[in-house]
């Protein structure tokens, strides 16, 4: 079993729909990161969370430390949100990130 | 602009050739790391460094060498390229302290034929 599991693996939505991506992990962490990667592109850090909730534009990230679970929400989705979204956790000790397998999101106009 | 600079962006090698992928950051980050990204595998850690003169192995270190002679630079060396090393390589850096995020380079797409 991977230490970081994401669901779903693939998601297709119509423009304007609300999207939720889930991330579950099995180790103690100091922080959880949500990353975005456009096709053929680099990796951009969206959020770093250690508790609670963060919002940036149409993106909202939440984390529940007790349940070892995080969600990334995209409100009013747009075709430019089409990308792979990756969850990564930083362990309680050390700097090494462990990555989930990613969720491929396609938003159709 | 501050960030992580990776070169080259694309490279084709013949089996057995050697090369160095360059990674440089200008944010005074202590922590630097190399990942490879393969279809269906996600990102996997190759080597990492927590400061100049200190390096350690990650999840998939075989066939790769690193060194960290300065805070800014963290080159990844392929000693004898193999087709199994065909991948996209990303360098990332961060402050060592908790509470800081990671900055990723734009990636190097390597093909070994």
Q: What was the pLDDT predicted at B99?
A: 66
Q: What was the pLDDT predicted at B31?
A: 93
Nearest alpha carbon to residue A107 among A24, A33, A15, A45: A15
Please return the burial class of B32, using the count of CB atoms within 10 Å of its CB with bins 0-12, 13-18 and 19+. Answer: buried
Q: What was the pLDDT predicted at A23?
A: 98
Cα–Cα dist B32/A31, whole Å: 17
Cβ-Cβ pairs closer than 8 A, A with B, add up to: 54
- Which tens digits make up the pLDDT trace of A67-89? 999 999 999 999 999 999 999 99
Q: What was the pLDDT predicted at A97?
A: 86
Q: What percent of chain B has pLDDT over 70?
A: 96
Contact check, Cβ <8 Å, B100/A97 = no
Answer whether A20's CB lies under 8 Å from A11's CB. Answer: no
Cα–Cα dist B43/A6, whole Å: 13
Answer yes or no: is pLDDT of A95 > 80.
no
CB of B103 less than 8 A from some CB of A = yes
CB of B19 less than 8 A from some CB of A = no
Q: What was the pLDDT predicted at A96?
A: 81
Transcribe A64-96 into DSSP letters: ETTTTEEEEEESS--GGG-EEEEEEEEESSSS-
Cα–Cα dist B20/A108, whole Å: 40
Contact check, Cβ <8 Å, A95/B94 = yes
What residues 33-92 of chain B have any CB closer than 8 A to a CB of chain A? 33, 40-45, 48, 50, 58, 90, 92
Cα–Cα dist B95/A30, whole Å: 14
Q: What was the pLDDT predicted at B73?
A: 97
- Which tens digits make up the pLDDT trace of A29-48? 989 999 999 887 789 999 99
Q: pLDDT below 70 — which residues of chain B?
A: 1, 98-99
Cα–Cα dist B82/B16, whole Å: 6
Transcribe chain B into DSSP letters: --SEEEE-SEEEE-TT--EEEEEEESS--SEEEEEEEETTTEEEEEEEEEETTEEEE-SS-TTEEE--SSSSB--EEESS--GGG-EEEEEEEE-SSTT---EE---EEEEE-
Cα–Cα dist A26/A2, whole Å: 8
Mind telling me how many Å the CA of A61 is from chain B's nearest CA?
15
Q: What was the pLDDT predicted at A1?
A: 57
Q: What was the pLDDT predicted at B101?
A: 81
Q: Is A16 left (phi over 0), alpha (psi -120 to 50) or beta?
A: left
Q: What was the pLDDT predicted at A93?
A: 78
Nearest alpha carbon to residue A108 among A86, A77, A74: A77
Q: What was the pLDDT predicted at B72?
A: 97
Return the residue matching tokens 């956790």. A89
Task: List CB contacts (< 8 A) between A32 and chain B.
Answer: none
Task: Choose from A7, A9, A32, A42 for mutation: most chain B CBs within 10 A.
Answer: A42
Q: What is the average pLDDT across A1-27?
A: 93
């Amino acid at each position: 079993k991977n230490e970081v599991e994401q669901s779903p693996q693939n998601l297709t939505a119509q423009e304007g729909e609300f999207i939720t991506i889930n991330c579950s992990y099995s180790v103690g962490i100091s922080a959880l990161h949500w990353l975005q990667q456009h096709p053929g592109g680099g990796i951009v850090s969206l959020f770093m969370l250690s508790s609670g909730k963060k919002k940036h534009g149409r993106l909202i990230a939440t984390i529940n430390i007790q349940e070892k679970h995080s969600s990334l929400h995209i409100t009013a989705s747009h075709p430019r949100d089409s990308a792979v979204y990756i969850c990564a956790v930083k362990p309680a000790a050390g700097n090494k990130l462990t990555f989930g397998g990613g969720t491929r999101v396609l938003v159709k106009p | 602009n501050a960030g992580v600079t990776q070169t080259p962006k694309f490279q084709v090698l013949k089996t057995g050739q050697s090369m160095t992928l360059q990674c440089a950051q200008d944010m005074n980050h202590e922590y630097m790391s190399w990942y490879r990204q393969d279809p269906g595998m996600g990102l996997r850690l190759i080597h990492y460094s927590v400061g100049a003169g200190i390096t350690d192995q990650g999840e998939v270190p075989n066939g790769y060498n690193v060194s960290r002679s300065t805070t800014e630079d963290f080159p990844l060396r392929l000693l004898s390229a193999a087709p199994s090393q065909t991948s996209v390589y990303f360098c990332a850096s961060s402050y060592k302290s908790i509470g800081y995020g990671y900055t990723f380079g734009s990636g190097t797409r390597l093909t070994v034929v």
